[in-house]
Amino acid sequence: MSSLLVAAIGIIIFILGYRFYSKFVAEKIYRLDPNYLTPAHQYKDGVDFVPTNKYVVWGHHFTSVAGAAPILGPAIAVYWGWLPAFLWVVLGTVFAAGVHDFGTLVLSVRNKGQSIGTLAHRLIGKKAKLLFLFIILILVLMINAVFAWVISNLFISYPASVLPVFIQIPLAIWIGYAVYKGKTKMLLPSIIALVVMYGVAILASNIDFLQIDVVAYFGGEGAAGLFGMGAVSSAFLIWIVILMVYVYIASTLPVWKLLQPRDYINSHQLVVGMAILYLGLLFTNPAVTAPAASSASDVSWFPLLFITVACGAISGFHGLVSSGTSSKQLNKETDARFVGYFGAVGEGALALVSILAVITLFPSAGDFTAAYSSFAQANATGLGNFVEGASQLANGLAIPPGIATTIVSIIVVSFAATTLDTSVRLMRYIIAELGVEYKIPALSKMHVATSIAVILSAVLVLLPEGSKGFGSGGYLLWPLFGTSNQLLAGISLLLISIWLKRQGRNFLVTLIPMVFLLIMTLLAMFNQVLFQWSWFGSDANMLLFVLGAVIFVFAVWIIITAISTLTKNDIKES
Cα separation, 84 vs 542, whole angstroms = 32
Question: By the 8 A CB rule, do 306 and 88 touch?
Answer: yes
The radius of gyration of the chain's CA atoms, rounded to the nearest angstrom, is 22
Cα separation, 105 vs 337, whole angstroms = 9
- Taken as a whole, the chain contains a residue count of 574
74 prior amide bond cis, ω within 30: no
Helices within 372-468 (DSSP H only): 375-395, 401-437, 446-462
Cα separation, 235 vs 469, whole angstroms = 13
Query: Which of 489, 324, 351, 467 shows the shortest CA–CA distance to 69?
Result: 351
Query: Which of 503, 484, 493, 499 shows the shortest CA–CA distance to 549?
Result: 484
Question: By the 8 A CB rule, do 162 and 155 touch?
Answer: yes
Vertex 314: Cα angle to 147 and 276 (nearest 5) = 65
Instruction: Name all contacts of 1-4 with Cβ < 8 Å and 24+ positions apart.
Output: 1/287, 1/288, 1/292, 2/285, 2/287, 2/288, 3/281, 3/285, 3/286, 3/287, 3/288, 3/356, 3/359, 3/360, 4/281, 4/282, 4/285
**In the prediction, which pLDDT does 434 show?**
82
For residue 110, give the amino acid letter: R
**In the prediction, which pLDDT does 569 show?**
62
Per-residue pLDDT tens listing for the chain (574 residues):
789 999 999 999 999 999 999 999 999 999 999 999 999 999 998 888 999 999 989 988 987 787 667 888 999 999 999 999 999 999 999 999 999 999 999 999 999 998 888 888 888 887 777 788 888 888 888 888 888 888 888 888 888 888 988 898 899 888 888 877 766 777 888 888 888 988 888 888 888 888 899 998 988 888 887 888 889 889 989 999 999 999 999 888 888 888 888 888 888 887 788 888 899 999 999 999 999 998 766 888 888 899 999 888 999 989 999 998 899 999 999 999 999 999 999 999 999 999 999 999 999 999 999 999 998 899 888 878 888 888 888 888 887 877 777 777 777 777 777 778 888 888 888 888 888 878 888 988 999 999 999 999 999 888 777 777 777 788 888 888 888 889 899 999 999 999 999 999 999 999 999 999 999 999 999 998 998 899 888 889 998 999 999 989 988 988 888 888 877 765 444 4
**In the prediction, which pLDDT does 355 show?**
96
DSSP strand E in 535-574: where?
A: none
How many Cβ atoms sit within 10 Å of the Cβ of residue 332?
A: 19
* DSSP conformation class of 570: P
> Which 3-state string (H, E, C) describes 228-293?
CCEHHHHHHHHHHHHHHHHHHHHHHCCCCCCHHHHHHHHHHHHHHHHHHHHHHHHHHCCECCCCCC
